[in-house]
Amino acid sequence: MLQPSSLVGQLPAFSQIDPDGIEAAISRLLDDNRAQLEAILAATGGDGDFATGILPLQALDLRLHAAWAPVNHLHGVSNSPALRAAYNRCLPLITRYETELSQDARVWRLYRRVADSQPDEPAAARLLELALRDFHLAGVDLPAADKKRFGEIAERLAALQARFEQNVLDAMAAWQLPVVDPARLAGLPDAVLGAARDAAAAAGQQGWLLPLDQPSYVAVMTHAEDRDLRRQYYRAWATRASDQPPSPPAFDNSAVIEEILALRHELAGLVGYGNFAEYSLATKMASSVTEVSEFLSELARHSLPAAREELAELERFAGRALAAWDIAFYAEKLRADKYAVSDAELRPFFPLDRVLAGLFALVERIYGLVIEALPEIDAWHPDVRFYRVLDAGGEEIGGFYTDLYARADKRSGAWMDECLLAADFPGYRQLPVAHLVCNFARPTASAPSLLNHDEVLTLFHEFGHTLHHVLTRVPYPAVAGINGVPWDAVELPSQFMENFAWTDEVLPQISGHFRSGQPLPAATLQRLRASRVFHAGMQMVRQLEFALFDLRLHAEFDPRRGSRLARLLEEVRQSVAVVRHPEYNRMAHAFSHIFGGGYAAGYYSYKWAEVLAADAWSAVDNGQGLDTGQARRFRECILEIGGTRDIGAAFQSFRGRPPRLEPLLTQAGILPAAGGE
């Protein structure tokens, strides 16, 4: 029998977070942490060991994370004006404190002395190794004036990156499209139409009111028969937070981008790097800008011919040259023509609840986990659910929240974030808890939330991150879960997890018609699987476009001439893109991964990790069904170890050799199967 949850008492009380009290609470906590730091240094004489010196410092980090993580999360999923104002006021306080700590020579010397004693425990040794690296990257050994400037830059960057994301959110919220002529909406899924009709009614309007959120945008691009509607939506999406209409000028990110890039370049120079790309790579698997550039170029060499042929085939099918807003529409029709499988046909078979149930059953089978819903958990929205995770023996090992529907006050995209960090050392025992966030279409009066297969993959992807966080067996938060893992390997568990959603064994488990409950027909399942390679070349070069743009933007930045944003993007598109975009396209202005998130000079990580994931998957899927023994080895070698081991060595332990490029290219159909192992 399952035991009562011990997690509930550790979870944040979201309903009690008062925006008016956040700044004072964070200020008190930071002051208290500063006082405790002085007490730790005084008690140890600056010469403590791992237990008396380092672990108390880890406890300070835990306290701050427990207080700030809920506020940071609400900023992404419930962005009220009051919450945003409090968040923005706290950012410089948090950044200043973190810079002080990372530049404190006394703390640095303590870490060095403990590291020199060579602790026997691998997790402790790795924590010290990574901490010493990060002290250098934070400028601990700089002259006082440079330290001060480093801190000023860090504070300003934190504020600018928050403003970037807020501008994107506000620009999206500012645009709505009222429609009264039903002919304009021909082809759109019922779920999108129902939500738009409800939105119009709520606003006291006739007809439909289409928002600029991700589900609506994707639906219009993929299904709207009215080409002008597609073009109108494309322009609104492609100009978000830019200097181009219809985005409001007040939310233009142009100046924000220039200042972010200039400050990143200056920060990197302060600690001895030629550019921010070199600085960013100091914490990643890839060793140099040249190595990343050559990696991306090698992928492009294989992918571009396939992408060009795919576009040519699509235009032959359409009987015309295609604009950017035509691609998804005709691609969906071509996919249906080639594989007799369409988005409209698949959605009724992937109701969200059925997909979740099948996903949970899968991890019970392959990892021995039990996932149990806990009702009546304090959350930030009625749609939020909480689940605890138990191991095969019934031991509670962690939990996660799900927040899966799009809302106006919630940023777009999908992500996993850390709610509670894993910790197990004297005075602290805390189980890991994650936030799993997506932006799917809401249920309507006539149907539940219905996913297309791409959205199923998104859910599996973010659940892979969630497992990485929750399954850790590392007792120290700095190297538990995703912490301490090189950023270009963080996507390995998530992209590995996506593969399950393509298999003959798993697809029947996660599908069932929302009315009849009938499983996805076997013939449809096989056609869906065959469609995996559809437009793989075009998808590959699209990601290469983002990755090369990001890398070159940070590697080639020159403060004397600025970013050359538009020219650089055009150069990258000339080299790897096959779809041409209009001059007004301002992709960079809403590129939150690199200007608001953690992927600056690291967007290549998606492809880097995808190589690892495809190679790892080739050990689990042996062509004769899933090898659950190998899946459990993946859990042991990758998911459980956090950042305690070099990820290249960990991968080699799992795979028995270094990673190879061929499994990814074979999986994508770019290389024939004989090109694999």
**What's the CATH code of the domain at 108?**
1.10.1370.40
Assess if residue 500 is contained within a domain.
no
pLDDT at residue 676, rounded to an integer: 37
| Residues 6+ away with beta carbon under 8 Å from 582 | 238, 323, 324
For 526, phi then psi, to 5°, come to -65, -40
275 has which bridge partners?
none
Torsion (CA) 112, 113, 119, 123 in degrees, nearest 10:
-30
Distance CA 335, CA 186 (A): 19
Domain finish residue from 206, 236, 251: 251
Distance CA 86, CA 92 (A): 11
Q: How many CB atoms lie within 10 A of CB 73?
A: 21
Token pair, residue 40, equals 């730790």
Q: At 179, is the secondary structure helix, strand, or coil?
A: strand
Do residues 117 and 207 share a domain? no
pLDDT at residue 6, rounded to an integer: 76
Distance CA 654, CA 633 (A): 7
Do residues 162 and 179 share a domain? no
Do residues 162 and 42 share a domain? yes
What Cα–Cα distance (Å) separates residue 394 from each residue in 89, 101, 335, 364, 371? 43, 40, 45, 12, 10
Nearest residue to 167 via CA among 94, 246, 225, 249: 249
Q: Amino acid identity, residue 256?
A: V
What Cα–Cα distance (Å) separates residue 23 from each residue in 17, 84, 112, 503? 11, 11, 34, 49
Distance CA 232, CA 179 (A): 12
Annotated active-site residue 462? The verdict is: yes
Do residues 100 and 131 share a domain? yes
Do residues 119 and 216 share a domain? no
Distance CA 234, CA 326 (A): 10
- The one-character DSSP state at 598 is S
For 229, phi then psi, to 5°, come to -65, -45
Distance CA 159, CA 155 (A): 6
The H-assigned helical ranges of 556-645 are 565-576, 592-595, 605-620, 628-634
Catalytic residue among 462, 545, 610, 662: 462
Assess if residue 491 is contained within a domain.
no
Do residues 111 and 186 share a domain? no
Distance CA 402, CA 387 (A): 8
Distance CA 214, CA 203 (A): 20
Q: At 646, is the secondary structure helix, strand, or coil?
A: coil
Structural domains in the chain (count): 2
Assess if residue 558 is contained within a domain.
no
Q: How many CB atoms lie within 10 A of CB 182?
A: 11
Do residues 76 and 124 share a domain? yes
Torsion (CA) 661, 663, 669, 672 in degrees, nearest 10:
100
Assess if residue 311 is contained within a domain.
no
| Residues 6+ away with beta carbon under 8 Å from 272 | none
Do residues 160 and 18 share a domain? yes
Letter string b/e over residues 380-392, b meaning 16 or more CB atoms within 10 A of that residue's CB: beeebbbbbbbee
CA 485 to chain centre: 14
Do residues 198 and 135 share a domain? no
What is the 3-state secondary structure of 6-21? CCHHHCCCHHHCCHHH
Domain finish residue from 145, 169, 193: 169
- The one-character DSSP state at 491 is T
pLDDT at residue 376, rounded to an integer: 86
Domain finish residue from 210, 236, 251: 251
What Cα–Cα distance (Å) separates residue 132 from each residue in 40, 141, 253, 635? 19, 11, 35, 28
Token pair, residue 222, equals 């993929």
CB 87 within 8 A of CB 440: no
* Residue 117: domain span: 8-169
| Residues 6+ away with beta carbon under 8 Å from 533 | 668, 669
Do residues 97 and 126 share a domain? yes
Assess if residue 556 is contained within a domain.
no
Residues of the chain with pLDDT under 70: 1-5, 674-677
pLDDT at residue 4, rounded to an integer: 61
Assess if residue 181 is contained within a domain.
yes
Can you spell out the DSSP letters for 267-298?
Answer: HHHHTT-SSHHHHHHTTSSS--HHHHHHHHHH
Distance CA 227, CA 239 (A): 18
Assess if residue 24 is contained within a domain.
yes
| Residues 6+ away with beta carbon under 8 Å from 578 | 304, 307, 308, 310, 311, 538, 541
For 177, phi then psi, to 5°, come to -120, 105
What Cα–Cα distance (Å) separates residue 499 from each residue in 243, 285, 354? 40, 23, 18
pLDDT at residue 489, rounded to an integer: 96
Do residues 56 and 158 share a domain? yes
Do residues 31 and 72 share a domain? yes
385 has which bridge partners?
402
Q: At 487, is the secondary structure helix, strand, or coil?
A: coil
Q: How many CB atoms lie within 10 A of CB 650?
A: 19
Assess if residue 353 is contained within a domain.
no
Q: Amino acid identity, residue 283?
A: T
CB 294 within 8 A of CB 608: no
